[in-house]
Amino acid sequence: MPSYTAPTKDLQFVLHNLLNVTKSDIPGYDELEPDFTSAILEEAGKLTSSVLAPLNAVGDKEGCRLENGVVYTPTGFKEAFEQVKEGGWTGLDMPEQYGGQNMPAVMGSAVGEMFSASNQAFTMYQGLTHGAASAILAHGTDAQKDTYLPNMVSCEWTGTMNLTEPHCGTDLGMMRTKAEPQDDGSYKITGQKIFISSGEHDMAGNIIHLVLAKITGGPEGIKGVSLFIVPKFLVNDDGSLGDRNGVTVGKIEEKMGIHGNSTCVMNYDGATGFLLGEEHKGMRAMFTMMNEARLGVGMQGLAQADVAYQNALDYAKDRLQGRAVTGAENPDGPADPLIVHPDIRRSLMDQKSFVEGARAFILWGASLIDAAHRADDKAADGLVSLLTPVIKGFLTDQGYDMTIKAQQVYGGHGYIEEWGMSQFTRDARIAQIYEGANGVQALDLVGRKLAQDGGKHVMAFFEMVKNFIKDNAGQDEAFDKDFLDPLKAASKDLQAAGMYFMQNGMKNPNHALSGSNDFMHMFGHVCLGLMWARMGKASMDALTEGASDAAFYETKLATGRYYMARQLPATALHLTRIQSGADTVMALDAANF
Amino acid sequence: MPSYTAPTKDLQFVLHNLLNVTKSDIPGYDELEPDFTSAILEEAGKLTSSVLAPLNAVGDKEGCRLENGVVYTPTGFKEAFEQVKEGGWTGLDMPEQYGGQNMPAVMGSAVGEMFSASNQAFTMYQGLTHGAASAILAHGTDAQKDTYLPNMVSCEWTGTMNLTEPHCGTDLGMMRTKAEPQDDGSYKITGQKIFISSGEHDMAGNIIHLVLAKITGGPEGIKGVSLFIVPKFLVNDDGSLGDRNGVTVGKIEEKMGIHGNSTCVMNYDGATGFLLGEEHKGMRAMFTMMNEARLGVGMQGLAQADVAYQNALDYAKDRLQGRAVTGAENPDGPADPLIVHPDIRRSLMDQKSFVEGARAFILWGASLIDAAHRADDKAADGLVSLLTPVIKGFLTDQGYDMTIKAQQVYGGHGYIEEWGMSQFTRDARIAQIYEGANGVQALDLVGRKLAQDGGKHVMAFFEMVKNFIKDNAGQDEAFDKDFLDPLKAASKDLQAAGMYFMQNGMKNPNHALSGSNDFMHMFGHVCLGLMWARMGKASMDALTEGASDAAFYETKLATGRYYMARQLPATALHLTRIQSGADTVMALDAANF
């Protein structure tokens, strides 16, 4: 059975060496002293590795069970959920007013990675709740906040998001779920929603569904969509639970993975709902939840890649098979460990350099969110908005590929469920699909985010890369060659791609959209390249300052060199594809496929 | 539920327009007239699409069941197997002497693709039998052939191959299974084998296990390995079944996919075995089976990609979601079909151009085998030996990626088992692992095949590409630009990579082996590039000759242009990685990972 070790040390490196959180002027960051963050990460590490990780395989094997309208979660989930709640982990970055601990998003993300890595299906119960609570926090009335948030922050009640219907997912303008206004200001919600994660289960006293629906008589299409709070149990004025609402689970979907999470078909039969935010502005309200969810899903890509990598690494050190081509390294044993073989190393280095780069990328993104929310930094807000589809799309595509590489290290044993590597790939697969399939992320990036605010956010990004290179060049020849030159080349590729879109997308938008997936990936590589260059610099600084754990920083530099030499050059291929334009992509009539 | 349509027309194109089989002087090819091959492919198409494909999901859902030592295959498998046997499909390319139809391998492959695509798990029962029969054909005594082959060719009896043990897969020198010589010339086989596909089941009267074991007192390591025939039921002199042999199934493995195939742990407890081939030369004999199996596995990569693509295409034409950015294409409907969106097209074109290119590659490979076996063509034999790891490794890696792309087209529905797309990915995944994991294929290619016979086969390959370009350049400007120039560039990249290995691999073999995976992939791309250039030429010729179905050939050209513009340039990235050498790959001590 696979195991999970929380990457506490690496998270500390990102927080303190890379992001220098205590030196930031973002409100709240001054409290993030190394001892303090270390204590939190250590505690989260214990809980996730010793309680949640052992339940991961249980959840996969047992799945959720629907009996007479009641959904039963896998053995041990309920008890573990109690432990998570008791530890106060569910409200880490929520306002104190509602029972949270008001920590910055960067800490929520650091801890969140551990939760996702140890047990993605389990963590989704609290993850969806967090998203729903954020939407109520941003768009709810004070009364709504008081009614729902305390119990949601503590996860006594959990939350869901209800968007998809059988005939529409991405194109929500076609939705059919109706909301009929009632005299008391509430609405009657009727319709069917599918793919509802954590839709119904036995771990919470109440479930607060956020449901997109069309108010009868409202505008056609997406402009007529509003967001509603539909609690499983109505809440009385005194906060106690009232009547059971008209929402029921139709069935649990049989999925490829994340079996421990109950993915439900939810039927709303005149259920009582309360408008959240403004009429017909449901998409805006839902996007508060979706943007947070997208960053969380990007993190799932990293998280599954990390736990899969950890186990592949153990296996590669343990399993004896063949001899190093340069001479036996374990001459007294019957064979050398797998890790001596160059192709196994290549795979492990792909994984390691991705995981550590992605971790930095995610926490940097979270720090931008903190800057935007806590310091009202408009530039940070624009930048993280630009990066959100990259974080979601690139990290989940790459994260999935990395779980596949990790599984491959196991050879035949990787294909046997008992060894647990299959689950990592099957669980990771959903992250490329939900919260906007990755094609939609690429479309969002190229079709919307690039040109947002006159393109100023992408220009700011390029400026940032340029300045980093300028500020750090000429000090160390090897660093220039190993880190800065590749970053410069990759950034130039990305700019050339943007230029191609500008010059050709005007006359035919297909020239831009045919390259959207490649652009998202090359953008992701440049971000990881930037992270690695920064981490390389931070590691050199630590070594210069005589850090006690030199091997850690040397390893960081070596891993960065690998990424720069072997992964970052992918930007050139993406650019070639983009510059080939739409002609070959769009050549065929649909009938001729 | 997904469906399968046999690609009869495209197979005919490859056989007759590309390979020109009837004009070949390979013995037996003169019989492959278009009407004849069409009749066979049509019949195979009916059987696979109407009988085997509907059982694919059944096999996945039910799996195999072990009860009191008996393995039960999924509902319907037994009856379908009877139909396959009655149709004579199991001995298509086997000698008439043993009940086969003596057709060339190229026909066996064309039909085999359909079988694999419609139901991979089911087809493995006959696939393993074919491999075992081939090994007996190549290495057995006349008495052994007469005893086993007639029933194996008809699949009254099925076969298996037993290599892996719990502690060794790739490194078979460590195997522990023992063979003790008996006075009557037989051996007593004792040991445990794992991952035995079709190891035990209820569809055959007897199961002929080919088992690798070490004769007691023989040489250490791989040089002491011999191959044995170990029938489930011993066969009496009159051909009737005798005693039950000492081989039993320990358990059925729970796997990620191919649930319809019984993957067994097999226990040999003093089972009677008969030496196949020479003492201590078991690996040589096993390789007859393995090489055939590797080509078959490469075909599985193509086959799953094709069936997944077919269904993704249907879904993309069917599912209404969003509007074309260039204006509604289905203005009377609530939305446009998915296929209008450039990123969906990109994905579909990736799949289509891979599938058709891979189909040509596989059948070209099969025609080389025919040339080697039927016309004793040493050059063809050397070339297909070189290409075998490429066919296995590249086509299964890419084939898997394509099933993932196909699944992605379905959005959330792709993740729900009911829709069947998950099964294609889960089934396809094994092909990257078994019959030598793809890392082993890359090692075989770079460490062994490249330099084989003084490197003359790889040089012959380059010469072939060069000659094709020379012979066809300068006739059509667009063809030169769209097809020949990209092929030339890619082939140059591949040569540069080979040169890098030669110059650097001598002083440190890790410089070559760190690039082995990239080399395998770039070799695969050049092969598909060559196939597309040839198919482009063949299509232009057909159009010049006024072929009636112009749209088919125009589509072929458009698909080829896509591959050349968007996929083939990957060789440059692989070259960059290869030329970065082993330094970043091997930098870390194992302890510092």
**Residues of A in Cβ contact (< 8 Å) with B348:** 593
The enclosing H or E element of B67 equals strand B65-67
Distances (CA, A) of B315 to B58, B352, B407: 21, 15, 10
User: Which CATH homologous superfamily contains domain A285-443?
Assistant: Butyryl-CoA Dehydrogenase, subunit A, domain 3 (1.20.140.10)
The region that residue A322 occupies, defined by phi over 0 for left and psi between -120 and 50 for alpha, beta otherwise, is left
Interface test with A, best of B193, B214, B345, B446 (most A CBs within 10 A): B345
To 10 degrees, the CA torsion angle through A97, A100, A102, A103?
A: 180
| Assigned token pair, A515 | 């390259």
3-state class of B194 per DSSP? Answer: strand
Do B576 and A575 touch, CB atoms closer than 8 A?
no
Q: Which residues pair with B241 in a beta bridge?
A: B235
Number of H helices, E strands in chain A: 20, 11
pLDDT tens digits for range B57-104: 999 999 999 999 999 999 999 999 999 999 999 999 999 999 999 999
List chain A pLDDT tens, one digit each, 593 residues. Answer: 899 999 999 999 999 999 999 999 999 999 999 999 999 999 999 999 999 999 999 999 999 999 999 999 999 999 999 999 999 999 999 999 999 999 999 999 999 999 999 999 999 999 999 999 999 999 999 999 999 999 999 999 999 999 999 999 889 899 999 999 999 999 999 999 999 999 999 999 999 999 999 999 999 999 999 999 999 999 999 999 999 999 999 999 999 999 999 999 999 999 999 999 999 999 888 887 788 889 999 999 999 999 999 999 999 999 999 999 999 999 999 999 999 999 999 999 999 999 999 999 999 999 999 999 999 999 999 999 999 999 999 999 999 999 999 999 999 999 999 999 999 999 999 999 999 999 999 999 999 999 999 999 999 999 999 999 999 999 999 999 999 999 999 999 999 999 999 999 989 999 999 999 999 999 999 999 999 999 999 999 999 999 999 999 999 999 999 999 999 999 999 999 999 999 999 999 999 99
Chain A interface, mutation test: which of B329, B482, B585, B592, most A Cβ atoms within 10 Å?
B585
Helix (H, G, I), strand (E, B) or coil at A361: helix
The pLDDT of residue A285: 85
Mean pLDDT of B362-373: 97
The rounded distance, in Å, linking the Cα atoms of B437 and B467 is 34
Instruction: Note the ipTM here.
Output: 0.98
Does the domain at B285-439 match CATH 1.20.140.10? Answer given as: yes
- Contact between B349 and B562 (Cβ < 8 Å): yes
Contact B197, B261 (CB under 8 A): yes
Q: Which residue of B has its CA nearest to A515?
A: B343
Among A429, A442, A590, beta carbon nearest to B339: A590
Measured between beta carbons, which residues in chain B are less than 8 angstroms from residue A347?
A: 439, 517
The residue among A114, A107, A143, A132 whose CA lies nearest residue A29 is A107
Q: Residue A537 has which token pair?
A: 């610099």
Nearest CB to B551; choose among A317, A349, A592: A592
3-class DSSP assignment, residue B161: strand
What pLDDT, on the 0 to 100 scale, is given for residue A130?
Answer: 96
Mean pLDDT of all residues in B200-212: 98
Alpha carbons A460 and A377: distance in angstroms, whole number: 14
- What is d(CA B141, CA A585) in angstroms, rounded to the nearest whole number? 56
Q: How many CB pairs under 8 A join A and B?
A: 255
Question: Helices H, strands E: what count in chain B?
Answer: 19, 11
**Spacing of C-alpha B555 from chain mean position:** 26
Cα distance from B55 to chain A (closest Cα, Å)? 19
Helix (H, G, I), strand (E, B) or coil at B226: strand
User: Nearest CB to A313: which of B313, B554, B593?
Assistant: B593
> How many Cα atoms within 13 Å fall on the side-chain side of residue A466?
9
B429 to A415: CB separation less than 8 angstroms, yes or no: yes
Give dist(CA A50, CA A59) in Å, integer: 15
Choose the catalytic residue: B417, B435, B463, B545: B435
Label residue B289 by pLDDT band (50, 70, 90).
Answer: confident
Q: CA-CA distance, B569 to A360, in Å (whole number)?
A: 31
- Residue B84 corresponds to which tokens in the numbers above? 């396959």
CB contact under 8 A, A555 and B588: yes
A120-139 and A77-86 helices, crossing angle to 10°: 50
User: How near does any CA of chain A get to the CA of B117, in Å?
Assistant: 19
- How many other β-carbons are positioned within 10 Å of the β-carbon of residue B176? 13
Q: Are A572 and A493 in contact (CB under 8 A)?
A: yes
Whether A281 and A270 have beta carbons less than 8 Å apart is answered as no
Give me the amino acid identity at A275: L
Nearest CB to A569 within list B442, B569, B573: B573
E strands present in B233-323 = 233-235, 241-244, 247-252, 263-276
How are the residues of chain A apportioned to helix, strand and coil, as percentages rounded to the nearest 5? 65, 15, 25
Q: Cβ B433–A411 below 8 Å, yes or no? A: yes
Phi, psi of A526 (to 5 degrees): -65, -40
Closest CB to B566: pick one of A326, A339, A584: A584
Of B334, B416, B587, the CB nearest to A558: B587
Please indicate whether, in this complex, the C-beta atoms of B584 and A577 are within 8 angstroms of each other: no
Question: How many angstroms away from the CA of A584 is the closest CA of chain B?
Answer: 5
What is the average per-residue pLDDT within B110-136? 97
**Taking CA atoms, what residue in A is nearest to B317?**
A590
Distance (Å) from the C-alpha of residue A373 to the closest C-alpha of chain B? Answer: 32
The chain B residue lying nearest A552, using CA atoms, is: B592
Q: Rounded to whole angstroms, how far apart are CA atoms B156 and B133? A: 12
Tell me if A317 sits within 8 A of A130, measured CB to CB: no
Q: Name A416's bridge partners.
A: B255
Buried b (16+ CB within 10 A) or exposed e, B540-568: bebbeeeeeeeebbbbbbbbbbbbbbbbb
On chain B, the residues whose CB falls within 8 A of the CB of A348 are: 593
Which tokens hold the place of B532?
Answer: 């597309």
Chain B nearest C-alpha distance from A573 (Å): 6
Residue B252: band (very low, low, confident or very high) from pLDDT cuts 50, 70, 90: very high
Looking at CA atoms only, how far is residue B101 from chain A in angstroms?
35
* DSSP secondary structure letter of residue B245: P
| Minimal Cβ distance to B343: which of A167, A344, A439 | A439
Question: Are B585 and A345 in contact (CB < 8 Å)?
Answer: yes
What residue in B sits closest to A310 (Cα-Cα)?
B593
Return the pLDDT at A286: 85
Say yes or no for a CB contact (<8 Å) between A439 and B570.
no
Residue A501: partners with Cβ closer than 8 Å, 6 or more residues away: A446, A450, A511, A512, A515, A519, A578
Chain A residues touching B326 at Cβ < 8 A: 508-510
Query: Which of B404, B514, B562 has the CB atom closest to A342's CB atom?
Result: B514
**Cβ within 8 Å, pair B164-A584:** no
CA B470 to chain centre: 31
- Of B351, B157, B317, which Cα lies nearest the Cα of B235? B157
B322/A572 touch (CB, cutoff 8 Å), yes or no: no
Kindly state the tokens that stand for B472: 């066809």
To the nearest whole Å, the CA of A205 is away from the closest chain B CA by 28
From A435, A463, A545, A554, the catalytic residue: A435
Contact between B52 and B123 (Cβ < 8 Å): yes
Write the CB contacts of A548 (distance below 8 Å, at least 6 apart in sequence): none
The three-state secondary structure class of B206 is strand
Residue of A nearest to B164 (CA): A412
B322 CB neighbours in chain A (<8 A) are 170-171
Give the separation between CA B572 and CA B587, rounded to whole angstroms.
Answer: 24
Identify whether A79 is a catalytic site residue: no
The predicted structure's pLDDT at residue B285: 85
Task: Give ranges for CATH 1.20.140.10 in chain B.
Answer: 285-439
Chain A contact probe: residue of B319, B483, B573, B577 with most A CBs at under 10 A: B573
Q: Running DSSP on this structure, what letter comes out for residue B27?
A: T
DSSP string, B505-529: HTT-HHHHHTTHHHHHHHHHHHHHH
Chain A hits for B516, CB-CB cut-off 8 Å, are 342-343
Q: Quick check: A426 and B345 CB within 8 A?
A: no
Which residues contact residue B314 at a Cβ distance below 8 angstroms, ignoring those fewer than 6 apart?
B3
Q: Which amino acid is at B346?
A: R
Query: How many residues appear in chain B?
Result: 593
Q: How far B103 CA sits from the closest chain A CA (Å)?
A: 32
Asked if the model's pLDDT at residue B287 lies above 90, the reply is no
CA A62/CA A73 separation, integer angstroms? 9
Among chain A residues, CA nearest to B437: A411
